[in-house]
Amino acid sequence: MEQSGPGSAIPVSEYLETEPPKWPLVLGILSILWGGVGVVSGIAGSVSLINDARGSKPDVTNSPLAIAFTVLGTLMALALLVGGVQLLRRRAMAIGLLKAWVVLSLVVQVGSSAFMIRNRDAFEEALREKVQMQMDEQAAKTGGKPAALPAGFEKMMLLGGMACGGALGLGAAGLVAFFVFGRRGREAEQIWNRAAA
Predicted structure pTM score: 0.75
Quote the longest CA-to-CA distance of the chain.
Answer: 80
Residues 61-91 pLDDT 10s: 778 888 888 899 999 999 999 999 999 999 9
| pLDDT beyond 90 at 98 | yes
**CA geometry: angle at 56 spanning 135 and 151, to 5°?**
40
What does the mean pLDDT of the chain come to?
81
pLDDT bracket for residue 16 (50, 70, 90)? very low
Cα angle value 155/157/163 (rounded, 5°): 100
pLDDT at position 36: 94
C-alpha span between 161 and 152 (Å, rounded): 14
pLDDT digits 0-9 by tens, 17-50: 556 688 999 999 999 999 999 999 989 888 888 7
For residue 151, which amino acid is it?
Answer: A
| Predicted pLDDT at 188 | 87
Q: Which of the four pLDDT bands, split at 50, 70 and 90, describes residue 11?
A: low
Q: Mind listing the pLDDT tens digit for each residue in 144-172?
A: 777 777 777 777 777 777 788 778 888 88
pLDDT of amino acid 12: 52
